Amino acid sequence: MDSVFEKVKSVICDVLKIDGANITPETRFIEDLKADSMDQFFLIDGFSEKFNVTISDDDATGIKTVGDVVKLLSK
C-alpha cells in the first residue's frame, strides 16, 4: 500500500506543482491542496495513466482525500 501512496503522491506533486512533504492519506484535495475542478480532472487523468486503470465518473466524484485514491487504486 505504501508504494501506491507514494505513486499517488508523485502524481499529485506533478499535477499541482507542489512539494509533497505534507501530503498524508487524510489530505483533502479541495480544502487542503486547493485543487479546482480542472486540477481534479488532471489528477484523475494522471492517476489513470500512472496505474493503467480507468476511473469511472462515479468513482471520481467519491474521491475527497488522498486516502480515497489509494483505497480505490489498491483494489
Stretch 50-65: mean pLDDT: 96
Q: Please tell me the predicted confidence (pLDDT) of residue 19.
A: 95
Residue 55's pLDDT is: 97
The Cα–Cα gap between 24 and 69 comes to: 12
What is the tens place of the pLDDT at every residue in 59-68? 999 999 999 9
Query: Which structural domains are found in the chain, ordered by start?
Result: 2-73 (1.10.1200.10)
pLDDT digits (tens, 9 = 90+) for 1-43: 569 999 999 999 999 999 999 999 999 999 999 999 999 999 9
Give the pLDDT mean for 38-63.
Answer: 97
pTM of the model: 0.93
d(CA 55, CA 69): 10
Burial of 56 (0-12, 13-18, 19+ CB in 10 A): exposed
